[in-house]
Amino acid sequence: MTNQAIKLLLLGEVGVGKTSLARRLVFGTFDSSYKATIGVDIFDFRLKAAVSGLLVDVNLLIWDIDGDYSQDIYRHIYSEGATGALIVSDVSRPLTQKAAVDLWGGFEREFPGRPAKIVMNKADLLTSPASTLMPAAIGVDFVWTSAKTGYLVLDAFAEVARHCVARGLAL
């Protein structure tokens, strides 16, 4: 078994649930009260990932970044050395979906070859068919999550971690 460290950016608009996803993953909790992240919060989480038939210990360094940065985040020191990203949207707020798609495109340009995944958070609030959501409508791959219920939270982080390790992008 080998050990790998991954710097994973957690990006998205204000209030989409970035911190809630990180707290659900790391602490197994959900807090319905809202407290905006100012600057960055860094979380540490270890998981095991199967990559090319090997079981790899992955240390995720999750950089939960303030949602006020928008595209400027790619010029900020917080993003330096990123190996992957989860870009979070709120399924109940369509404008955050467009912002997530824009952030995903920016990440693809700034960090070519590094995995980024759009996360449609708050799946427990979904009221419209998935095909009406912006990422689905334009063919961008995404994953559903719910920080409130824990639905697919570990899977979302683990998927990006597996891709980082498989591409040799660990720190």
Residues 17-58: pLDDT tens digits?
999 999 999 999 999 888 888 888 999 999 998 888 888 999
HSE at residue 137, side-chain half, CA atoms within 13 A, is 9
- Please write the tens of the pLDDT for every residue from 73-95: 667 788 889 999 999 999 888 88
143-62-103 Cα angle (round to 5): 55
Residue 30 and residue 20 in contact, taking contact as beta carbons nearer than 8 Å:
yes
Q: What is the pLDDT of residue 5?
A: 95
Q: Return the H-helix or E-strand segment holding 116.
A: strand 116-121
Domain 2-166: CATH superfamily, name plus number: P-loop containing nucleotide triphosphate hydrolases (3.40.50.300)
Domain locations along the chain: 2-166
CA distances to 38, 92, 111 from 108, rounded to whole Å, are 25, 25, 5
Which pTM value belongs to this model? 0.91
**Over pLDDT 70: what percentage of the chain?**
89
Better-predicted residue by pLDDT, 43 or 137: 43
CA distances to 22, 69, 131, 146, 156 from 73, rounded to whole Å, are 19, 5, 29, 25, 21
Residue 84 and residue 161 in contact, taking contact as beta carbons nearer than 8 Å:
yes
Sign for the CA dihedral angle at 156, 33, 94, 75 comes to negative
